[in-house]
Homo-oligomer: A and B are copies of this chain.
Amino acid sequence: MLKLILAQINLTVGDIDGNVNAIIKTAQRARDVYAAHVVAFPELAITGYSPEDLLLRFDVLNSVEQALQYLLYAVPDIAIILGYPRRYGAAVYNCAGVIYQGRLVAEYHKQALPNYGVFDERRYFNAGECPCVVTLQGLNVGITVCEDVWFSEPIFNTHAAGAQLIVNINASPFHVGKHSEREAQVRQRVMEVHIPILYLNLVGGQDELVFDGNSFVMDATGQITHRASHCVEEEIVVNLDIAGIESGTIALTPSNEMAVYQALVLGVRDFVWKNGFHGAILGLSGGIDSALTLAIAVDALGADQVEAVLMPSRYTANMSNEDAIAQANALKVIWHKISIEPPLQTFVTEISTAMNIELTGITQENIQARCRGLIMMALSNQTGKILLSTGNKSEVAVGYTTLYGDMAGGFAPLKDVFKTFVYKLARYRNTLQPIIPNRVLQRPPSAELRPNQTDQDSLPPYEMLDTILHLYIELDKSIAEIVTAGFDLTTVQRVINLVNHSEHKRHQAPPGVRITQRAFGKDRRYPIVNKFYATT
């Protein structure tokens, strides 16, 4: 009987010492508490995922090499499977090594290197060409890395090389539905080779990405025998022999709302703490976006680490202030109130006088948003707390947002969440505890930058807008295809023009948590100069 631990742990990019310590502690516990024979760690565990251009640096690769040499002797009497980058002459491989009793028993080089979406692995790595099988407790264990399991060949070859089970170590980022895609993909491989596959994923936030865990074990018939939880550190203890796998704990799959909410919380928590900020601040408008962002921040960091600021102007409705205060109080968050009227008036008077012009409505609206941005950044500078920007994906997509104004901030939790889904998340969070007043969920959304303004003065209804945006941005559909899906040409063209004309704003947007298959950021790389849709 082989006892194997899949360690779904949270590592930090670049923190080689910290990651090595976490690996050692976990391996010791696996040996001493569980009496395990083997413990496995995620892809690129020594560096964290993804180190990006740190991988081009010899000093980084040399430090990894030293860490690897140190790990060889660090935890005797248990086999360790773990990921790291390693240089061989001019080539660098994405490796999975097997360490036992001071020896690197085997080393696998990842064969399938993703170079799409958020992945740039061919920028850094050479592809391996050979399967890797090691014998542990009399069982032949094949080792593969992440993308390998999405293709038949690497798994087929590993089986052909004698593997009786496969341990696939991953750094697979979250998007809605990703978890079931992974299990379906692994099931397809299992059906091809008829051996168990143990799928170990990283957990934790790294800039835009959240690694959601959800590690699992699938037996030779395609049944799930173990599943770790979503977005938390956890260890899966697997007992297996040639006859089969002892059944274990299977975590329930969360709803989409719960899965996304927890991913956003983890993404915010890790971005804030791993970057060394002393908590978070945000502007609380009384609207739905800042209400949800506040709840996420509190769940991520604790109410005592978060402060909210109301910044009313003459256009701010009384109920907006009331609702903002109600939200802050419900979450037990300190709030402050700073009017933007005095600086706004000073700017408007001074600029119009100096230039001898009358400022347009749009200019004045932007000044309002930027006065708020300036106040929040001053408080961020003063306190060392990160400013969270509260914009959602619908706004960021069409540029219904002010650069250096409401876009100001170090992190934008809702950046990849469409407005219609913001409402769903808010309702979900209210099921745990009623914190967002019903009025906030029911009022027509408004930027409150001019009298009686609503978002729908400038934009199509959000149900329609979000569908068009989904088709255009996430599915790459053409104008004609979107029209065929049931929208009028003028609206579709207007939306697409708005998206393309706000590329320069997104270029300067803070990062946010990726929850879809096509997030703004490293996932979607559009030129700023781009006349394609100007001519169609």
Contact = CB atoms under 8 A, between A and B. Distances in A.
Contact of A526 (B52, B339, B511): B52
* Of A116, A339, A357, A527, most B-chain CB atoms within 10 Å: A527
A382 B404 contact: no
Interface in A312-358: 336-339, 342-343, 346-347, 350-351, 354-355, 357
Given A63-B536, A531-B14, A373 B404 contact: yes
Nearest to A54: B532
Contact of A347 (B378, B404, B535): B378
Interface stretch (A75-83, A210-218, A230-238, A270-278): A270-278
B52 A525 contact: yes
A342 B338 contact: no
Contact of A507 (B63, B511, B529): B511
A370 B366 contact: no
A392 interface: no
- Copies assembled: 2
A447 to B, nearest CB: 15
Interface in A21-60: 50-54, 56-60
Interface residues of A, number: 89
B347 A532 contact: no
Nearest to A370: B374
Contact of A343 (B116, B343, B508): B343
A437 interface: no
Given A347-B375, A354-B336, A14 B52 contact: no
A531 B373 CA distance: 28
A381 interface: yes
Given A16-B535, A60-B532, A404 B378 contact: no
A13 interface: yes
Contacts of A248: none
A87 to B, nearest CB: 13
Interface of A: 12-18, 50-54, 56-60, 62-63, 115-116, 120, 122-123, 205-207, 270-271, 274-275, 336-339, 342-343, 346-347, 350-351, 354-355, 357, 359-360, 362-363, 366-367, 370-371, 373-375, 377-379, 381-382, 403-404, 408, 410, 476-480, 504, 507-511, 522, 524-536
20 contacts: A14-B527, A14-B529, A15-B535, A16-B535, A52-B525, A54-B526, A58-B476, A59-B479, A62-B478, A63-B536, A115-B123, A205-B529, A274-B529, A275-B529, A338-B354, A342-B346, A346-B346, A367-B374, A370-B378, A404-B408
Given A207-B528, A339-B350, A371-B374, 16 more contacts: A13-B529, A13-B532, A14-B533, A15-B532, A15-B534, A53-B526, A54-B530, A54-B532, A56-B476, A60-B532, A63-B532, A359-B382, A374-B404, A377-B404, A507-B510, A508-B510
